Amino acid sequence: MRITGLPAPGPGTPRLREALLTASFTPEGLLDLLGPSAHAALARGETVPALRATHPDDGPLAVLTRLFLLRRPVAYGVARGALPLDEALGEGWLTRDGDEVRATVEVRPYATEGAPGGDGDGAGSRDGWIVSDSRGAPGADGAAGQAPDVVLGAGGASATLAALTVRTPVARALDLGTGSGVQALHASRHADLVTATDVNPRALRMTALTLALSGAPPADLRLGSLFDPVADEPGYDLIVSNPPFVISPARDGAGLTYRDGGMAGDALCRTLVRRSAAHLAEGGHCQLLANWERTEGEDWRERLAAWVPPGCDAWIVRREEQDVAEYAELWLRDAGLHRGDRAAYEAAYGAWLDEFAARGALAVGFGWVMLRRTGAERPAIRVEDWPHAVEQPLGDTVLAHFARQDFLRDRARDDDRDRDGGQAGLLSARYVLAEGVVQEQVGAPGAEDPEHIVLRQRHGMMRATALDTVGAGFAGSCDGTLVAGTILDAIASLLGEDPFTLREGAGAWLRPLVEQGFLLPAG
């Protein structure tokens, strides 16, 4: 496909990749060149410190940085010392204007986890590059002043999704709304086939460039909206999407393609979640970022739970919420409108507020929607608010969460059959305390007994939960050797309590301890 102004990957691309590696145009190399302050400024979209740090250095690393990140013209003779210039010009990575050359795209060093055993080209499997347009004006968060079909590089949301994604080796992965191809690049490290879709043809080209330059296998690229381009495909083992989730007044292509999905309210995210089950293979995971509205008198948890398609377990986490005014300001700044004409800014701000008012929306939640297709009759749906710090990456935590849901579902079946107390399923299993869980005791200094006992995770979701002496004693005894019921009976006799009563009440605290990952089923 011909796409004006963008490179087309060709035989020169592996040689460009070689040149980038030779010059150490990698995340570590860039940090060494710029130093932490200029490096951090560049991540904020500010180029002045990096320009000063690379001037007047004409070494290959400084030249590549000026060309591909700072987007400055470089003298032809100087650029020739840094990369295979004529091939790069031929494939459209650069254009020539008299004695100077310029990059046509941003190329940003980016590290991904290597596939087990590396990717086989001997070139450091973790090093890749994200090819994209550059951000808008310095200081703007997003695409200020850019064309509506601008394709941005990997931002904070991209990193969040990448760190959340389950990275087990799979046969088929789908990256819906691929943009610069950052999620497709990650998926290429652990999926045999990656399909990447987008409504923006420029995004598909950027993805092809990102993969080719990073030495990853090419993806199956498909143009179209939501699941339309893969309607007839068999189910995927992994679906990831950082969709255009912004809730804005822009409709049907009138906004910025990377963020304004064009559907009213949170309809795009809802549609994605609802339709995902039909495109998931049995046991497959779907992981998306989403925004959703909260309206007066509505329980947002119920609203989100109602999005979950039949046959899927779900884990939905709200990471933050903003009131509608704050939210409108965030995205007006993203588009750079706060820097322009005051009257235009006020009109745009008003349009956002009208949009929310029309549906009675008070606030917008941002979070993660994670599904696993199980086909279970009784799906496990957990919707929670967790604005606290977590330890990234969380892919293994997500995988383990869904595995524990299978375990709890199996045990619940046994509980149903148990006529005495209904805990048999849970109490006949063995558990181990998850690695890194510690106990904290809170109480008055010098007091004999603590007022609260808290178990705290030091990994993953980094949760904390309060327990009584029985629960804490139980958790401390879980090393996988004794079944839960036997441990409880021992605690009952130690504390002089009725073992039947302890067993009967155990489900109320044991089930959440397992669900939240404090205790893991042994083996």
Q: Which residues contact 107 (CB under 8 A, 6 or more apart)?
A: 20, 64, 68, 69, 93, 129, 130, 131, 213
Which of 244, 255, 395, 485 is close enough to bind ligand SAM by CB under 6 A?
Answer: 244
Between 104 and 143, how does the x/- string for binding to ligand SAM read (CB under 6 A)?
----------------------------------------
211 lines the binding site for ligand SAM (CB under 6 A): no
154 lines the binding site for ligand SAM (CB under 6 A): yes
Nearer to ligand SAM, 54 or 200 (CB): 200
179 lines the binding site for ligand SAM (CB under 6 A): yes
Q: How many binding residues for ligand SAM (CB under 6 A)?
A: 24
423 lines the binding site for ligand SAM (CB under 6 A): no
237 lines the binding site for ligand SAM (CB under 6 A): no
Nearer to ligand SAM, 106 or 415 (CB): 106
Sole window of 134-142, 252-260, 318-326, 358-366 interacting with ligand SAM (rule: CB under 6 A): 252-260
210 lines the binding site for ligand SAM (CB under 6 A): no
Nearer to ligand SAM, 119 or 133 (CB): 133
Report angle CA 148, 152, 158 to the nearest 5 degrees: 130
- CA–CA gap between residue 172 and residue 191 (Å, rounded): 6
Residue 200 and residue 180 in contact, taking contact as beta carbons nearer than 8 Å: no
273 lines the binding site for ligand SAM (CB under 6 A): no
520 lines the binding site for ligand SAM (CB under 6 A): no
Residue 83 and residue 19 in contact, taking contact as beta carbons nearer than 8 Å: yes
Q: Which residues contact 4 (CB under 8 A, 6 or more apart)?
A: none
Report angle CA 196, 12, 88 to the nearest 5 degrees: 100
Mind spelling out the 3-state secondary structure of 75-140? EHHHHCCCCCHHHHHHCCCEEEECCEEEECCEEEEEECCCCCCCCCCCCCCCEEEEEECCCCCCCC
Smallest separation (angstroms) from ligand SAM to the CB of 18: 26
Residue 463 and residue 457 in contact, taking contact as beta carbons nearer than 8 Å: yes
177 lines the binding site for ligand SAM (CB under 6 A): yes
405 lines the binding site for ligand SAM (CB under 6 A): no
Residue 456 and residue 433 in contact, taking contact as beta carbons nearer than 8 Å: no
- CA–CA gap between residue 135 and residue 127 (Å, rounded): 22
Q: Are strands 170-176 and 127-132 parallel, antiparallel or unpaired?
A: unpaired
Nearer to ligand SAM, 257 or 397 (CB): 257
200 lines the binding site for ligand SAM (CB under 6 A): yes
- Binding stretches for ligand SAM (CB under 6 A): 154, 158, 161, 176-180, 182-183, 197-200, 203, 225-226, 242-244, 257-259, 261
